[in-house]
Amino acid sequence: MLLLRRIPLSCFSSSLARRDVIRTVVTKPTIAMAKAQKTELWELDNDILLVLSRDSEAHDVHQERLIRDIMAVDNIPYDDAEDVMKAMFKYNQLNHMWMLPYDFTLISTGAAAVVCVPLVFDFEAAKAFADLVSASSEEVPAVHSAANVGSWTWTWMEPMIGTASFSILCLQLFKGVMQKLALRPYHDSLQSKRANRLAKAYPTYTKSIVKDFGRSQPLRGNKFNPLGSTW
C-alpha cells in the first residue's frame, strides 16, 4: 500500500520565492554594463592576461604582458615600456634569407595551381608541354574541346599530378608524426630559435614572457605590428 505524506504549502511557497529571486538576478546586460565594457587589452587584469596567454598565437596578448613586465623591471611608465617592446619587436624581425622557403613555397604552389589547368585542358599548352617532356602524343583528339583534351593529356599528366599529391600527403603525415614526437618542423624550429635569441638579447626581463613574445611574433605583415610599417 502506497503511503502519501502531506507536504506543507510552505515548501512550495519557499521554492517559488527562490525561483523568483533567481529570475531577478539573471538579467540581460544593461546600458550601464555595456558602457563599462572593456575594449582594450591594457584594461584587463594580470590574471586575465595570464589565461589569455595560453594561446600561443595571440601576439597582442604577449605584447601587453611584455610591456607590463618591462614596467615592473625597469620601473618606467606604460608609454616608455611600450617603446622598449617596439624595439624588441624590431630586433626579432627575420632576415629575408630565412623567409626564402616560405616565399618559394608560396610562389611555386600558386603557380602550379594556375598552370596545371591549361596544361590539362588547353590543346596548345598541352601539346607544347608534351613536346617539351617528350610525352606520347598519339591519338590526338580531332575536336579540341576541354573534355577531349583532358582525356588525351591525362595519360601523361595523371602520374605527375598523382605523384605530387601523394608526396604532399606523405609530407603532411610526416610533419604530424614529428610534432607528436616533439621533433620540430622548420617553422616551429625557426620560431623557437627566434624566441631564444630574443631572450638572450634581453636577459633582464622574465624569460618565459620574452620567449612567448618572440615565438608568437608573426613572420611578416601588419598583423600585431606595433611599428606601423610592413617589413
Chain segment 163-218, per-residue pLDDT in tens: 988 999 999 999 889 888 888 888 888 899 999 999 999 999 999 999 999 999 98
Neighbours of 59 (CB within 10 A): 21
* Upper half-sphere CA count for residue 78 (Cβ side, 13 Å): 6
Per-position DSSP letters for 191-230, written without gaps between them:
HHHHHHHHHHH-TTS-HHHHHHHHHHS-SSSSTT-TTSS-
Backbone Cα Rg of the chain: 31
Dist. CA 155–CA 196, nearest whole Å: 51
Q: What nine digits make up the cell of 33? A: 554594463
- pLDDT band of residue 83 (cuts 50, 70, 90) is very high
pTM: 0.71
Sign of the torsion angle spanned by Cα atoms 43, 47, 52, 53: positive
- Residue type for position 52: L
Q: Is the pLDDT of residue 4 over 60?
A: no
- The size of the chain, in residues, is 231
Model pLDDT for residues 113-166, shown as the tens digit of each residue: 898 888 888 888 888 888 887 776 667 777 788 888 888 888 888 888 889 889
Q: Is the pLDDT of residue 20 over 60?
A: no
- Residue type for position 57: E
Dist. CA 209–CA 67, nearest whole Å: 10
Dist. CA 97–CA 108, nearest whole Å: 17
Per-position DSSP letters for the chain, written without gaps between them:
----PPPPHHHHHHHHHHHHHHHHHS-PPPHHHHHT---SGGGS-HHHHHHHTTSTT-HHHHHHHHHHHHHHHHT--HHHHHHHHHHHHHHTPPPGGGGHHHHHHHHHHHHHHHHHHHHHH-HHHHHHHHHHTT----S--SS--HHHHHHHHHHHHHHHHHHHHHHHHHHHHHHHHHHHTT---HHHHHHHHHHHHHHHH-TTS-HHHHHHHHHHS-SSSSTT-TTSS--
Over pLDDT 70: what percentage of the chain? 86
- Mean pLDDT value across the chain: 83
Instruction: Say if CB 202 and CB 210 are below 8 A apart.
Output: yes
